[in-house]
A and B are shown apart, each in its own frame.
Chain A
Amino acid sequence: MNSRNGSPEIVPSGSSGGLSQRTLVRVRRKETRRRFLSAFLAQRSGVAGLAVLGLFAVLALLAPLLFDSSQLDVTRATGGGLEAPSGEFWLGTDENGRPVLALVVWGARVSLVVGLAATLISMVIGTLVGIGSAHFRGWFGGLLERITDWFLVIPFLPLAIVLATVLGQSLLTIIAVIGLTSWPGTARLVRAQTLAVEARPYLERAKVLGGGDWHQMSRHVLPNVMPLVLANTTLTVAIAILSETTLSFLGLGDPFRISWGTMLDNAFSNGAISSGAWWYLLSPGLCVVAVVLAFTLVGRALEVVLDPRRTSL
């Protein structure tokens, strides 16, 4: 993954015996990818996590084919309220008589989309702030570092709640809220890695050859930080999905869409606990646990592969 150290602008091509620079880079990259893949495949729990994620992704994509959207319509529900699992309704029904199985499969779409989109926002902000705060040594870097520290201490859920309350309920709000509140951890990780990269000699060389701030950050620092960001991303998705579940449970989700969190909210508000409707609680919760656990396992496996020091974890 670290093969982009020399960039074509500065290094004259054709300097390495026989092969041109470009081919050499391509061969080296292919080799790195192959080594990365075989190292990842050796992590059994990571592969298992990936398989679970694949399954849920397929379910989410095929949801409209598996269950017609009319099954989600409260007015056209066929079952009775809170029916236990049976041959007709495999996972029972909700308070309106809709099949829980259809709700869970459709809910996967919202939960996964929110998790991924929020993570994207968080990663972009975290990476930019992290690299910036390490690269610029003056007041600007200091300011970015301070801001990161401050956002790190603000308790995440209360901040998310406040933002969601005042911004109103929609899918976009919930994505933005999670994305805007979960970046500081990434920023700090990226900052530490950037400091390590910037201390390496090839960065000094780039500087001496006249590479500007933008060139240094985008061509040298970013490619070296990316693997770490990638591993961190999978862990952040897990947290973002948990956050979506929590915020929806608190009634801050999009009221017109079904997610695992809103299902749990409905189950709680409609007395699933006191009436003993365990099937209504069990399936959405198990889905959250499975997906979050899968992302965590993949993230841990990636960490081990990309950073040999962490094999102990």
Chain B
Amino acid sequence: MSVLAADPAATVAVAPRRRRRGEGGVGRYAVRRTLSAGATLVFVVVFNFFLFRVLPGDPIALYTRGRNVDRERLAELRRALNRPLTEQFWSYIQNPFSQAIDSTRFSRPVWEVIGDRVWPTLLLLGVSTALAAGIGIWLGIRSAWERGGRFDRISTGVTLTLYAMPEFWLGMLLLIVLSTGVGVFPGIFPSGGVSSPGEDTSSISGVLDIAWHLTLPALTLAYLAEYSLVMRSSLVDEMSQDYLLTARVKGLMDRLVRRRHAVPNAMLPTISLIFLNIGFVVSGAITVETVFSWPGLGQLSYEAIRGPDVALLQAIFLLFSLAVVVANLLADLLVAAMDPRVRQ
């Protein structure tokens, strides 16, 4: 979590000690990383199984709290939960998403409930990550290049403040100012949802309508602070390297030295951070989707917490964990493909 404290380069370079000359390029590294990610995956799946069984409390009391459940259904639930642990584990391993018990809130199988909610979340996460990376990297490059200047001071101050903000609070402020309207600000943005009711989402005006609804949540979830800070510090490190002096001695313009030499080398930590941050962004999506009534997995988790709908919560937790493991693997592979030093 403490991204500011950890050295961004260290996150990337989890490298094995020895490499034979000649062989052992991207391929071998990729196999090794994939195997290790597979082990992590197994851990996550097993952890998910036991977490919800080791913790105290009667699951049936949780499932049925505040609702009328007939006696037969209760006996059926009790039977499902009283099966031997090994048997339960076996059926869980075969398909971790098929739960013995339906979602209590929606009275439908858990995976069906989740399936409806995946796309809005992917849309929101994709757009906000692209925004955050684009703006953050640009800010970072500019502040590093004009280090100590006015732009750098203002940009670092703003990014640190953004970093200190609970994202849902920023979202609520944006909503109250730009959707409800306070004082001179007109309420021009919609207060929530994916699209206006009755709008055909396949038409051009429908797509624009979705974009209009997406603007505020995507801006809120754009974690550009970290990208900017990491990009800045890695570019500052790069700027003291000798090869930049060489490039200047060759007579290259400042702009070209930056674009062709310094920035490509400084990009690596930021690129891997984009993937490593998925867990963080997913966490942010829970509150931001709730504030903006965005019908995705984040809002679904909020509903599952308020239930509490334990079966649903378990499945969402597993899905989020798997997404993070896969994203971490992608980050490793991508960086290894771009930087031979990492593979050593």
A residues within 8 Å of B by Cβ? 146, 149-150, 153-159, 161-163, 165-168, 182, 185-186, 188-189, 192, 231-232, 235-236, 238-239, 242, 245-246, 249-252, 261, 264, 267-268, 272-276, 278, 281-282, 285, 288-289, 292-293, 296-297, 299-300, 303, 312-313
Query: Shortest beta-carbon distance, B317 to chain A, in Å?
Result: 5
Does B311 make an interface contact (CB < 8 A)? no
Overall SS of chain B's interface: helix
Q: A157-B283, A158-B320, A312-B237 are in contact. Are A246 and B168 (CB under 8 A)?
A: yes
Q: A162-B313, A167-B55, A278-B182 are in contact. Are A245 and B166 (CB under 8 A)?
A: yes
Known: A155-B279, A185-B1, A242-B166. 6 other contacts (CB 8 A): A157-B283, A162-B51, A166-B57, A246-B166, A268-B291, A299-B4
Does B324 make an interface contact (CB < 8 A)? yes
Does B287 make an interface contact (CB < 8 A)? yes
Query: Shortest beta-carbon distance, A56 to chain B, in Å?
Result: 13
**Segment from B39-47, B69-77, B246-254 that makes contact with A:** B39-47
Query: Shortest beta-carbon distance, A184 to chain B, in Å?
Result: 8
**Segment from B81-89, B114-122, B172-180, B198-206 that makes contact with A:** B172-180
A165, B166: Cβ atoms under 8 Å?
no
Q: Which of A154, A156, A161, A267 contacts B301 (CB 8 A)?
A: A161
B325, A239: Cβ atoms under 8 Å?
no
B residues within 8 Å of A by Cβ? 1-2, 4-6, 10, 39-40, 43-44, 47, 51-52, 55-57, 160-161, 163-166, 168-169, 172-173, 175-177, 179-182, 191, 229, 233, 236-237, 279-280, 282-283, 286-287, 290-291, 301-302, 305-306, 308, 310, 313-314, 316-317, 320-321, 324-325, 328
Q: Which of B44, B166, B237, B282 contacts A285 (CB 8 A)?
A: B166
Inter-chain contact total with CB atoms closer than 8 Å:
174
Query: Shortest beta-carbon distance, B122 to chain A, in Å?
Result: 16
8 closest cross-chain pairs (CB), A and B: A157-B283, A292-B164, A155-B279, A293-B164, A285-B169, A166-B55, A312-B236, A185-B2
Q: Which residue of A lies closest to B302 (CB)?
A: A250
A-B residue pairs in contact (CB < 8 Å), sample of 27: A153-B40, A153-B324, A153-B328, A154-B44, A158-B317, A161-B317, A167-B55, A167-B56, A188-B10, A192-B10, A231-B5, A242-B166, A249-B287, A261-B166, A264-B169, A268-B291, A273-B172, A285-B165, A285-B169, A288-B165, A288-B169, A289-B161, A293-B161, A293-B164, A296-B4, A296-B164, A297-B160
Q: With a CB–CB cut-off of 8 A, which chain B residues contact A162?
A: 51-52, 313-314, 317
A246, B287: Cβ atoms under 8 Å?
yes
Q: Which of A149, A153, A281 contacts B169 (CB 8 A)?
A: A281
Q: Which of A166, A235, A251, A268 contacts B2 (CB 8 A)?
A: A235
Q: With a CB–CB cut-off of 8 A, which chain B residues contact A242?
A: 164, 166
